[in-house]
Amino acid sequence: MTASTTHVWRLLKWGRILARHGALRGIERDPNTPTPVRRLARIARFGARVPAVPRYADAFQAIGPAAIKLGQTLATRPDLVGEDAAHDLLRLQDQLSPVPYETIEAAMLASFGKPLETLFSRIEPIPVGAASIAQVHRAVTTDGRQVAVKVLRPGVEDDFARAIDTYSWAAAQLEALSPEAMRLRPRLTIETFKRWTLRELNFRREAASASELAEGMTAEPDFVIPAIDWARSTAKVMTIEWIDGIKLSDRPALVAAGYDLPGLANTLVRAFLRQAIADGFFHADMHQGNLFALPGNRIAAIDFGIMGRIDRRARVWLA
Confidence class of residue 78 from pLDDT cuts 50, 70 and 90? confident
State whether CATH 1.10.510.10 applies to domain 101-153+202-318: yes
Higher pLDDT, residue 221 or 312? 221
For 184-225, how does the pLDDT look when each residue is reduced to its tens digit (9 = 90+)?
Answer: 788 998 998 898 888 889 999 999 999 999 999 999 999 999
> What average pLDDT score do residues 47-61 get?
85
pLDDT digits (tens, 9 = 90+) for 145-165: 999 999 999 999 999 999 999
pLDDT band at 234 (very low <50, low <70, confident <90, very high): very high
Residues with Cβ < 8 Å from 256, sequence gap 6 or more?
Answer: none
- Model pTM above 0.95: no
- Amino acid sitting at position 98: P
Q: Which of 80-89, 231-240, 304-313 reaches the highest mean pLDDT? A: 231-240
pLDDT of 299? 98
Three-class SS of the chain: CCCHHHHHHHHHHHHHHHHHCCCCHHHHHCCCCCHHHHHHHHHHHCCCCCCCCCCHHHHHHHHCHHHHHHHHHHCCCHHHHCHHHHHHHCCCCCCCCCCCHHHHHHHHHHHHCCCHHHCEEEECCCCCEECCCEEEEEEEECCCCEEEEEEECCCHHHHHHHHHHHHHHHHHHHHHHCHHHHHHCHHHHHHHHHHHHHHHCCHHHHHHHHHHHHHHHHHCCCEECCCECHHHCCCCEEEEECCCCEECCCHHHHHHCCCCHHHHHHHHHHHHHHHHHHHCEEECCCCHHHEEEECCCEEEECCCCCEEECCHHHHHHHC
Q: What is the mean predicted confidence (pLDDT) over 48-68?
A: 87
Catalytic residues: 285
When comparing pLDDT for 101 and 29, which is higher? 101
Residue 76, pLDDT score = 82
Average pLDDT over residues 266-286: 92
Domain positions in the chain are 4-95+156-199, 101-153+202-318
